[in-house]
Structure 1
């Protein structure tokens, strides 16, 4: 149940280089001749698609490659290494999606850059009921707008500090439904599929509901509000619960805030509030998450909190479409990616699409005897979409932290850090 932080994986470099070298998105879709069963193979910006007649079955193979690079500076002496390496593969995914008729969806995603949790989504979804999706497998728990938005479409390289409280992916069963401007998802989850003992990580019940008081027909203008709750019971086996995060840059070598091991944790409850307002190319989005840790032996509970507010502006784009229902799983009521029009593509003589972003986020991991630290981050970024399926991200992150004295041996001194992070992203 600890919030994990990834470390760069050198073993993913050969695959990353292979993916980057082998993927060349065609100027127009390439479609092969019909096969013996009438199936057709197509290669386009969505990847490789094999489609059978009468929509009997469709198989799509895609992927994503995210390469991060940057530099950082910590003002205090004695902090040690800021970045282990100035460049690393953040994600290197192969993704497959199989649609059988109009009722069954299967999805599998594998991340070669993450040695600890390589399997991402591994889901079977049934869509035979009107406006209802029943999904089972390893998937995101329905909690937090920012967590549910694909990392292909996030405004910055990393999600906010408050993402330390989001449960992310685990094995479970989810049932979701929606109307024209509302959604509701409820679920039961165990542990993560990549852990040997899925059932030994407790049982969680997670629910999220959203409502859009205003939603334009094209989905580019919306007022969104949401409420999510999650409660997970934890086994009384002495295993530790840890909540932690580091500045909003993947390359940071050390965590700034960390509760340390909480070995008497009996449960973890979360409540999340979310809101977003988008009008055309401008979007304002905010979340607040309160987390409470129940403890064995009658010890008083612990409360931690975090949140963010961010704004994004597309300088020469029409905005991000608000998507009510997903193809599968739990990603209801989220914002999609930036669309690059044909004339804007660099490959067609255009300049691409540019996007600006600002964010303030904070996390508080201090309560009672737990002195995990308090951090505030300010992030300013610019995204460039030169063509479809390609994105470059450039972020500046300023962090001010009263860190955990136990983890950094800084007593109660504060830490001020600056990071410049870039990302080259290819997705199809």
Structure 2
């Protein structure tokens, strides 16, 4: 189902941006205005620039439209996808840059009534090699999460992303050297949830790239989050939707966990890129401690997950490694696939193709809690016909032992699930 009326309007505007004009075939730049301002319209969206003082307003956006089907190995299970087609994301993204030091970013998702606000922050870059950010942003944890969802290898991030919190409101400071980065911050809840209700977290991430050239990158990273919660905070849970957003319910799910006092997460990252080839892996461990009762403190529960993935750009350059962001916490990530001018379909080319494969796993069972186990193997093909257009096809084979929280609908016996999902992705 393709969403609400605002999402439908955004869909129409986004499809219009898939035309050659928005893709840069006929980029438009207006004459200078009375104050020297210029308006430009190209693959980066609508950009208004004032020369003195130097101010730039860019209005970008993204549309991710998914369609797919799935089947279970065990009969009697409910329908996998309630809707075969859905708007995954419909974002409007204005960014205001003032001089060289100030960035104000905002992202709003018309397709998500629960968490519509994504980035909503102010960043200051007045100190050397340092960015200070206040607002709603990504918590600095997990290479895969910090990569833009425009640039991930597959339609969805891995099963291990269940351990990564959504964007949260807080304050962060990031610093970098020639081949290393360090980010730390303090965070509450998401801005869409009113900031409170989930305690206070301290988070940090450090990365180093011992090899860092235009053609080759070796990346290591370590990150952690420690969150303290009060008894009045909302219940806590971990769950994952099997690497396809169209599923009606998660397969591995701890269910609501009451009286969670502390949640800690530790993640390790590895990536290596050589030309068009990229391999990337992460391992994440999460631990939950509950408040002490009359009999003392209950034992902590620990969960774990990870993935390894690889990609090869068949007829183009590899993914660029970006050490620093424009603002926020997204340091040391890999960007998307570039489409050279001569390979664009609108210029008579065939576009750029990328193949990818991934194995991911999650374990939500511990100390009498049966949250479930899942192992997924994913194969993917992406086609980039234009710089702001991408088509993705993924096949996912999963092996699941469902959690107790889903036993009423999925039962308790293991089963396998095969999924085919495609995405039309427009971004500007």
Superposition TM-score tier, normalisation by shorter sequence: over 0.9
How far apart are the structure 2 equivalents of 1:18 and 1:9?
A: 12
* Equivalence for 1:121: 119
* Equivalence for 1:155: 153
22-31 or 185-194: which moved more? 22-31
* Equivalence for 1:18: 12
Q: Secondary structure at the match of 1:338?
A: coil
Residues 8-407 of structure 1: matches in 2 within 5 Å? 9-11=3-5, 13-23=7-17, 24=19, 25=22, 26-54=24-52, 56-196=54-194, 198-216=195-213, 218=214, 220-237=215-232, 239-297=234-292, 298-407=297-406
Shift of 1:54: 4.8
How far apart are the structure 2 equivalents of 1:411 and 1:110?
A: 38
Shift of 1:399: 0.7
CA contact (8 A) 1:267 1:294 kept: yes
How far apart are the structure 2 equivalents of 1:54 and 1:328?
A: 22
How far apart are the structure 2 equivalents of 1:264 and 1:136?
A: 30
* Equivalence for 1:4: none
How far apart are the structure 2 equivalents of 1:398 and 1:378?
A: 5
Change (3 A) 1:12 1:201: same
Shift of 1:213: 0.5
How far apart are the structure 1 equivalents of 2:11 and 2:193?
A: 28
How far apart are the structure 2 equivalents of 1:183 and 1:194?
A: 29
CA contact (8 A) 2:62 2:92 kept: yes
* Equivalence for 1:419: 419
Q: Secondary structure at the match of 1:95?
A: strand
Q: Secondary structure at the match of 2:48?
A: strand
Q: Secondary structure at the match of 1:158?
A: coil
How far apart are the structure 1 equivalents of 2:181 and 2:394?
A: 33
Q: Could you tell me the TM-score, scaled by structure 1's length?
A: 0.96
CA contact (8 A) 2:2 2:8 kept: no
> What's the CA shift string for 1:318-371, capped at 9, x where partnerless?
101000000000000000111000110000110000000000000000001210
How far apart are the structure 2 equivalents of 1:411 and 1:121?
A: 39
Q: Could you tell me the TM-score, scaled by structure 2's length?
A: 0.96
CA contact (8 A) 1:8 1:251 kept: no
Q: Secondary structure at the match of 1:209?
A: strand
CA contact (8 A) 2:140 2:183 kept: yes
Change (3 A) 1:11 1:361: farther
> What's the CA shift string for 1:287-309, capped at 9, x where partnerless?
00000001111111100000000
How far apart are the structure 2 equivalents of 1:75 and 1:248?
A: 18
How far apart are the structure 2 equivalents of 1:167 and 1:80?
A: 29
Shift of 1:21: 4.2
CA contact (8 A) 2:166 2:190 kept: no
> What's the CA shift string for 1:2-28, capped at 9, x where partnerless?
xxxxx9744454123322344241414
CA RMSD after TM alignment: 1.4
How far apart are the structure 1 equivalents of 2:263 and 2:2?
A: 29
> What's the CA shift string for 1:92-132, capped at 9, x where partnerless?
00000101111100000000010101010001000000100
CA contact (8 A) 1:64 1:427 kept: yes
70-79 or 267-276: which moved more? 70-79
